Amino acid sequence: MREPEVILTLIEVAATLAFALSGFIEAARRRMDIVGITAVACTAAFGGGTLRDVLLDQRPFFWVEHSGYLWLILGLCMVGLPLLRASHIDFTERAMRVPDALGLGLFGAAGTSQALALGQPLIVAALTGVITGVFGGVLRDVLCNEVPAIFTDHRPYAVCAFTGAWVFIGLDHVQAPEGLALTACIVTTAGLRLLALARDWRVPGWRG
Amino acid sequence: MREPEVILTLIEVAATLAFALSGFIEAARRRMDIVGITAVACTAAFGGGTLRDVLLDQRPFFWVEHSGYLWLILGLCMVGLPLLRASHIDFTERAMRVPDALGLGLFGAAGTSQALALGQPLIVAALTGVITGVFGGVLRDVLCNEVPAIFTDHRPYAVCAFTGAWVFIGLDHVQAPEGLALTACIVTTAGLRLLALARDWRVPGWRG
Amino acid sequence: MREPEVILTLIEVAATLAFALSGFIEAARRRMDIVGITAVACTAAFGGGTLRDVLLDQRPFFWVEHSGYLWLILGLCMVGLPLLRASHIDFTERAMRVPDALGLGLFGAAGTSQALALGQPLIVAALTGVITGVFGGVLRDVLCNEVPAIFTDHRPYAVCAFTGAWVFIGLDHVQAPEGLALTACIVTTAGLRLLALARDWRVPGWRG
């Protein structure tokens, strides 16, 4: 009983840090000040999970219950900004791929799992996983005044999370151990995402 | 007792489909991929009703309770995209007018009705109707990275929904049958909207 | 017992009006129509408080419970638009500074106070204050299709609210009278903000 909870918590920590980094990088590339960088990092990290909790009517929010997350991300932004500024690292789109794919898989698994545990319909559980995985990034792009990248770049992203969510639902349906279902969901989602980027797979659009 | 519920459900189905189409068209015109088109269609369709449910603290959301909506819109987007792409139809602003006006009237009536049923103050009920009608479109425009059209185009839109909401509230106050109040609200809102477009009525702005 | 409630209510009224004015001015400068101006004014005024209430799971929203706010702001927008349009006043960025700084201090104090009263962790209480103070402005800028000014202008704003929130939390911790804590929070926040603008203090950013 408690082991899945521990796994879910670890998933949340790792995914939160990966998404915060993606927000940090995006805001830093847009030359925001430290307030904007911190706000976008927190939004990217907590946006998906918060919307999930609003949709599932779960309180307190996980970043309220575990307020250490807030200290961690605030602290990392304060410490990280001068360190990274001094290090002359340039963050490229490529540098964001791996943490982003892992965060997508991790958040998608957590969202799908929680929605199923609350007895939601399967399609709602799958979309809760997708929303948990992608909504932080959507909000991040809206705050940066861009069309959300996942809507226009013709690269599979939400589709990977949707596929991973159904892998989770299928394994859950045949009563596989939760650890297996979570792992399979994360590996499927992150693997599909990285494979899609490596092979340049395209999502169909409206007249090209 | 049950008849108004059936009517409200039918209203929700029709309005949801009309708004999803408006989101589909807007996203397709912006050359989004199928993920973006589906997401914007769902946002346009469910955004107003979801904000209404958050404001009125109603759970589950109607698209969670009736998850068939999700299958329907996901399916229509998957099927509709290749069909419409092959058909060489060009969606113009004019093509969106009638479904949009009907959706505005239908959502406005549903929102006002639910807020009144929960004993909200009259101004809150009227604004709940307006928000239910317009917020899907506002979110749609925010996701497309535009200033919401209803804030800048000087065309009556929210004003029509506001007027229709007060027609509903007035008829409800004199204890008219709910079917009559709903019909009058929808006819007033959609009629005013289409009349305003036909006659080119303008909403006053700041120094023209 | 009742005196702090009266003070909190007065704070809410004054802050709401100050923020509605900032939204009115911003939307008017962007040549929106009266629907857009009213919507942006309401969003700037109620956005922070509404997000606070969603985060703290407080219902009804304060603008639902005190629906007079809605009548007041709707009325002021209807009356204010022709009056101000006729008066040939041009609102400059400078004209928005004082109401904005006061609103920031007032909302920040109210948000921190309510979160503490509900027993939230200190960091959550401080961030609730900041969010209550700044989120109306963030939403205002998103609706105007701009990157939120507070993320990019390198001027202390959220930082002032954060400092003021910790002043409140410190005084609350030593059991100072609530009126003193509120006053100190407001004076600190608004004073820091106006001082920062006068002395041209800068928030560090990513490579300048």
Give the mean pLDDT of C99-113.
87
Dump pLDDT digits (tens) for A170-179.
999 999 998 8
Which one-letter DSSP state was computed for residue B205? B
Percentage, residues of chain A above pLDDT 90 = 47
Residue A202 gets the label, from left (phi > 0), alpha (psi -120 to 50) or beta, of beta
The more confident residue out of C159 and C96 is: C159
The pLDDT, as a whole number, for residue A129 is 95
The more confident residue out of A25 and B93 is: A25
B151, C81: Cβ pair inside 8 Å?
A: no
- Determine the Cα–Cα distance for residues C9 and C3; give it in Å rounded to an integer: 10
In angstroms, how far is CA A191 from the centroid of its own chain? 14
Cβ–Cβ under 8 Å, residues B153 and B163: no
- Determine the Cα–Cα distance for residues A104 and C143; give it in Å rounded to an integer: 28
CA distance A5 to chain B (A): 25
Cβ–Cβ under 8 Å, residues C137 and C97: no
pTM of the model: 0.89
Chain A CA closest to residue B81: A206
Cβ–Cβ under 8 Å, residues B140 and B23: yes
Q: Measuring CA to CA, how many Å separate A31 from each of A25, B100, B162, C204?
A: 10, 39, 42, 10
Helix, strand, coil fractions of chain C, as percent rounded to 5: 80, 0, 20
C33, B205: Cβ pair inside 8 Å?
A: yes
Of the partner residues B28, B39, B67, the one whose CB lies closest to the CB of residue A124? B67
The pLDDT, as a whole number, for residue B1 is 44
**Lookup: tokens for B38:** 């589906």
| Cis amide linkage into residue B148, ω under 30° from 0 | no
Cβ–Cβ under 8 Å, residues C91 and C28: yes
C34, B205: Cβ pair inside 8 Å?
A: yes
CA distance B53 to chain C (A): 12
Residue C176, phi then psi, degrees to nearest 5: -70, 155
Helices (H), A2-67: 2-29, 34-55, 62-65
**Lookup: tokens for A27:** 């805001």
The pLDDT, as a whole number, for residue C11 is 67
- Determine the Cα–Cα distance for residues B63 and B70; give it in Å rounded to an integer: 7
Cβ–Cβ under 8 Å, residues A129 and A115: yes
- Give me the residue label for tokens 């701009």: C146
The pLDDT, as a whole number, for residue C81 is 82
SS (HEC) of B90-105:
CCCCHHHHHHHHHHHH
Kindly tell me if the per-residue pLDDT of C208 is higher than 60.
Answer: no
The dihedral formed by the CA atoms of A88, A94, A95 and A100, expressed in degrees to the nearest 10: 150
Residue pairs spanning A and B at CB distance below 8 A: 74
Where does the pLDDT of residue C90 fall: very low under 50, low under 70, confident under 90, or very high at 90 and above? Answer: low
**Lookup: tokens for B116:** 């009144």
Using alpha carbons only, what angle is made at residue C158 by residues C157 and C163, rounded to the nearest 5 degrees? Answer: 100
C205, A31: Cβ pair inside 8 Å?
A: yes
* Segments of chain B scoring below 50 in pLDDT: 1
- Residues of chain B in contact with residue C35, where contact means CB-CB under 8 angstroms, are 150-151, 157-159, 203
Single-letter amino acid code for the residue at B35: V
Of the partner residues A57, A148, A153, the one whose CB lies closest to the CB of residue B143? A148
3-class secondary structure, B31: coil
- Give me the residue label for tokens 């497309």: B144
**Lookup: tokens for A3:** 């082991």
The reply to whether A207 touches chain C by the CB within 8 Å rule is no
Cβ–Cβ under 8 Å, residues C179 and C3: yes
Question: How does the average pLDDT of chain C come out, rounded?
Answer: 86
Single-letter amino acid code for the residue at C169: I
Q: Which of A55, A151, A157 to mutate to test the interface with B (most CBs of B within 10 A)?
A: A151
Dump pLDDT digits (tens) for C196-207.
999 999 988 876
Kindly tell me if the per-residue pLDDT of A95 is higher than 70.
Answer: no
- Residues of chain A in contact with residue C146, where contact means CB-CB under 8 angstroms, are 145
Give strand pairing partners of B33: A205
Give the mean pLDDT of C121-141.
93
SS (HEC) of C148-193:
CHHHHCCCCCHHHHHHHHHHHHHHHHCCCCHHHHHHHHHHHHHHHH
Chain C CA closest to residue B203: C33
The pLDDT, as a whole number, for residue B182 is 87
- Residues of chain A in contact with residue C144, where contact means CB-CB under 8 angstroms, are none
The reply to whether B9 touches chain A by the CB within 8 Å rule is no
Helices (H), A33-177: 34-55, 62-65, 68-87, 97-117, 122-143, 149-152, 158-173
Residue pairs spanning A and C at CB distance below 8 A: 73
The pLDDT, as a whole number, for residue A82 is 81
The reply to whether B67 touches chain A by the CB within 8 Å rule is yes
The pLDDT, as a whole number, for residue A1 is 44
Cβ–Cβ under 8 Å, residues A56 and A48: no
The pLDDT, as a whole number, for residue C3 is 65
CA within 13 Å, CB half, A86 = 5
Kindly tell me if the per-residue pLDDT of C185 is higher than 50.
Answer: yes
Using alpha carbons only, what angle is made at residue A161 by residues A156 and A163, rounded to the nearest 5 degrees? Answer: 90
- Give me the residue label for tokens 């001027």: C155
C33, B127: Cβ pair inside 8 Å?
A: no
The reply to whether C115 touches chain A by the CB within 8 Å rule is no
Dump pLDDT digits (tens) for C53-74.
888 888 888 788 888 888 999 9
Domain residue ranges in chain B: 2-199
Percentage, residues of chain A above pLDDT 70 = 90
Give the mean pLDDT of C154-161.
93
C204, A81: Cβ pair inside 8 Å?
A: yes
Give the mean pLDDT of C29-49.
91
Task: Determine the length of chain A.
Answer: 208
Of the partner residues A147, A151, A206, the one whose CB lies closest to the CB of residue B81? A206
- Residues of chain C in contact with residue B54, where contact means CB-CB under 8 angstroms, are 54
Interface of A with C in 141-160 (CB under 8 A): 142-145
- Determine the Cα–Cα distance for residues A182 and A57; give it in Å rounded to an integer: 22
Give the mean pLDDT of C179-197.
92
Cβ–Cβ under 8 Å, residues B190 and B163: no
The more confident residue out of C21 and C162 is: C162
Residue C155, phi then psi, degrees to nearest 5: -105, 140
